[in-house]
Amino acid sequence: MSKEVRVRFAPSPTGHLHIGGARSALFNFLFARSQGGKFIVRIEDTDQARNVEDATEKLMDSLKWLGIDWDESMDIGGPHAPYRCMERLDIYESYLQQLLDEGKAYYDYMTEEELQKEREEQLARGEAPKYSGRDRDLTPEQRKAYEDQGIKPVVRFRVPEGQSVLVQDVVRGDVTFETEDIGDFVIARKDGIPTYNFAVVVDDHLMEISHVIRGEEHLSNAPRQALVFEAFGWEKPMFAHASLILNPDRQKMSKRDESIMQFVEQYQELGYLPEAIVNFLALLGWSPVGEEELFSLEELEHQFSLERVSKAPAVFDTDKLAWMNNQYVKEADVERLTKLAIPHLQKENKLPATLNDEQYEWTKKLVSIYQEQMHYAAEITTLTELFFQREITYNEEAKEVLSGEQVPEVLDHFSQELEDVTAFEPEEIKAAIKATQKATGQKGKKLFMPIRVAVTGQTHGPELPQAIALLGKSTVQARLSEAVKQ
């Protein structure tokens, strides 16, 4: 019988949810769902210097926003609780002791300065820096001498010499590493708190993790973790290291890379839709069968397979994300989009801090006429500029339209027609345009363009009668008479 699929997303609470982390979380979640397995969220916080307050809550909020939920974690508990590493210190301690007792780990008293010196000497000799093994075989007397000097040791893992380490990876096949290239690594710091490479193995084993799915940046950790699994005689999980995510310039992303928004929360703030982000992230390194690109989370849960995760780098194409979000915006409920759009309009003082019913309805109509065009909700502020300008400026193209000889007649007439409109609604406005056509004999572009340009300042834009209705009679009249003077 094959093992139950149990996978985990194990973020360190060092900040907001990164798009790379979100992709790892999603792949784990999808794999668990596609296999009828369990998805666990574990918080790896043993590197305390890097921990950021509130980061755990923020990470989990972002996951929830994406629609990724879990079967076991800190908030809902589970059979392998606790799910926060700092609450598991006593568990690690006994395993650490076991390795020390078996001689598979040892105390190392080298100071930072000594280690630094060692590294510099190795580099000067053209060697790759690697712990020399000075304290590998200290006698109890030597240890005591260091202790007496008050030097606190770290615990290092004794990497076996002259061996190959196998990492079985669904994405990459069998990857072997030589222990020669791996220095004895630290598994517990001076304060006794284990490092990631140790705690992760203990946790993955105890939590019965079947597959470790994460980004390529962790591939170099895999042999160290494999060695720890072997030292305990534990079965290693299957690994799956998904490709790197490159920025739009096809460069490796750095923390300071500004060519791209790197955190899920930033997309949320701009009014991207979570289902679009999920869809987009799924395609970063995974490819579906067939040409279809738009998938709901539920569809992904059925279609996802690790076999179709690629090791070729995935490029984060921001234009594609905008396109994809627009696909979802077009289908979204206008009420939902309105709620997303309002805070952005408020931030720019285009709407009051609280909206009455009438203002809300107006905004909803405004959003609906831009729904086809809008890539994400924050874009509403620039798209709708013409509704909030006191005076509109005409660009060259617009001036050209307004210079047509039929224009004054069309605009004057339309203005008169509007005077008689009682309910300033799209239907009545359409009728006023029609009446203008009849009276002036102008039609098509010669009729519509001057009206559009006069009222909106633009040659392209939203549905004209709807836009006119939303602008309101007095604004439209003022703009019409202003345009005639051009």
Among candidate residues 38, 255, 350, 446, the one labeled active-site is: 255
The tokens describing 165, both together, are 């380490």
The tokens describing 356, both together, are 């009455």
Q: Does 214 bind ligand GLU (CB under 6 A)?
A: yes
CB count, 10 Å around CB of 389? 13
Q: Which residues contact 53 (CB under 8 A, 6 or more apart)?
A: none
Question: Under rule CB under 6 A, which residues in 36-65 are in contact with ligand GLU?
Answer: 44
Do the Cβ atoms of 341 and 271 come closer than 8 Å? Answer: yes
Do the Cβ atoms of 52 and 15 come closer than 8 Å? Answer: yes
Count residues binding ligand GLU (CB under 6 A).
8
Question: Under rule CB under 6 A, which residues in 369-388 are in contact with ligand GLU?
Answer: none
> Is the CB of 16 or the CB of 344 nearer to ligand GLU?
16
Q: How many CA atoms lie within 13 A of 232 on its CB side?
A: 22
- Least distance in angstroms from the C-beta of 170 to ligand GLU: 15
> Is the CB of 84 or the CB of 430 nearer to ligand GLU?
84
CA–CA distance, 211 with 296 (Å, rounded to integer): 24
> Is the CB of 241 or the CB of 375 nearer to ligand GLU?
241
> Is the CB of 143 or the CB of 218 nearer to ligand GLU?
218
> Is the CB of 41 or the CB of 411 nearer to ligand GLU?
41
- In this chain, which stretch among 4-12, 62-70, 120-128, 329-337 interacts with ligand GLU, using CB under 6 A? 4-12
- Least distance in angstroms from the C-beta of 241 to ligand GLU: 10
Sign for the pseudo-dihedral over CA of 46, 47, 52, 56: negative
- Least distance in angstroms from the C-beta of 45 to ligand GLU: 9
- In this chain, which stretch among 6-14, 269-277, 338-346, 369-377 interacts with ligand GLU, using CB under 6 A? 6-14
> Is the CB of 167 or the CB of 200 nearer to ligand GLU?
200
CA–CA distance, 11 with 425 (Å, rounded to integer): 53
- In this chain, which stretch among 8-16, 65-73, 127-135, 152-160 interacts with ligand GLU, using CB under 6 A? 8-16
Q: Does 218 bind ligand GLU (CB under 6 A)?
A: yes
CA–CA distance, 464 with 173 (Å, rounded to integer): 59
> Is the CB of 20 or the CB of 271 nearer to ligand GLU?
20
Q: Does 12 bind ligand GLU (CB under 6 A)?
A: yes
> Is the CB of 131 or the CB of 198 nearer to ligand GLU?
198
3-state secondary structure at position 168 = strand
Tell the burial category of 355 from Cβ atoms under 10 Å away from its Cβ (0-12, 13-18, 19+). Answer: middle
How far from 196 is each of 236, 252, 259, 394, CA to CA, in Å? 17, 23, 30, 61
Question: Under rule CB under 6 A, which residues in 422-441 are in contact with ligand GLU?
Answer: none
- In this chain, which stretch among 7-15, 121-129, 268-276, 341-349 interacts with ligand GLU, using CB under 6 A? 7-15
- Least distance in angstroms from the C-beta of 224 to ligand GLU: 11
Helix 222-232 and helix 196-206: axis angle, to 10°?
60
Distance of CA 243 to the CA centre of its chain: 16
Q: Does 16 bind ligand GLU (CB under 6 A)?
A: no
- Least distance in angstroms from the C-beta of 296 to ligand GLU: 26
Do the Cβ atoms of 445 and 407 come closer than 8 Å? Answer: no
- Least distance in angstroms from the C-beta of 225 to ligand GLU: 8
> Is the CB of 43 or the CB of 154 nearer to ligand GLU?
43
CA–CA distance, 418 with 416 (Å, rounded to integer): 5
Q: Does 11 bind ligand GLU (CB under 6 A)?
A: yes
The length of the chain is 486
How far from 305 is each of 210, 223, 295, CA to CA, in Å? 15, 24, 14
- Least distance in angstroms from the C-beta of 8 to ligand GLU: 7
Which string of b and e fits 174-210 if b means at least 16 CB within 10 Å?
A: ebebebeebbbbbbbbeeebbbbbbbbbbbbbebebb
Site string for ligand GLU, 159-198 (x = CB under 6 A): -------------------------------------x--
Active site residue 236: no
Q: Does 84 bind ligand GLU (CB under 6 A)?
A: no
How far from 157 is each of 84, 140, 194, CA to CA, in Å? 23, 18, 11
Do the Cβ atoms of 33 and 67 come closer than 8 Å? Answer: no
- Least distance in angstroms from the C-beta of 85 to ligand GLU: 9
- In this chain, which stretch among 5-13, 111-119, 139-147, 178-186 interacts with ligand GLU, using CB under 6 A? 5-13
Q: Which of 200, 340, 374, 411 binds ligand GLU (CB under 6 A)?
A: 200
The tokens describing 438, both together, are 């009849």
Q: Does 18 bind ligand GLU (CB under 6 A)?
A: no
Residues that bind ligand GLU (CB under 6 A): 10-12, 44, 196, 200, 214, 218
Residues forming the active site: 255
